[in-house]
A = this chain, B = another copy of it.
Amino acid sequence: MSKTSQAAGLHRASLAKLHELDAALELMYYGWRGMTLEADDYLAKQGLSRPHHRILYVVARRPDIAIGALIEILGISKQALNRPLNLLLERKLLTSKRSPEQHRSKLLRLTAAGQRIEQKASDRERKVMRQAFERAGASGAAAWMAVMEAIADSN
């Protein structure tokens, strides 16, 4: 469920660097791992995992989103969404209601319990980021964001 636990995995910096930028590649990998590690542990304790969190995260920021729009934002198929979404509905972390005028669409919303879990999971990720930004200072944080934007937009 989680790639975490004792899989301390790669003790960073144990590999020879063949290229100058190898350190950057590895930092991206370990950075992603480091940011999500605690959140994944928390989610696993709730019987949830990353895809559930992604759904909760998006719905929290787009209340009354329709299923089709959610599928687009997540970039997965309807069928892949189906299982985790139904679990969240069964667990009453999400509600779906038909829209008044657009009766074809179902609108998704977090319940109070869903909000709590979304917040706790995302908080764990934000905590890691906040600590790193505090160490780096405001200018370091801004530089990090600028580099990440350049990478994200490189497609």
Contacts and interface: CB of A to CB of B under 8 A. Distances in A.
Contact of A153 (B12, B22, B146): B12
Is the contact region of chain A dominated by helix, strand, or loop, or is it mixed? helix
Interface residues of A, number: 63
B75 A9 contact: yes
18 contacts: A7-B76, A16-B61, A16-B62, A17-B61, A21-B129, A24-B126, A24-B144, A25-B35, A25-B125, A28-B31, A28-B32, A30-B148, A31-B151, A32-B32, A140-B147, A141-B147, A143-B147, A144-B144
B128 A154 contact: yes
Copies held by the complex: 2
Contacts of A30: 148, 151-152
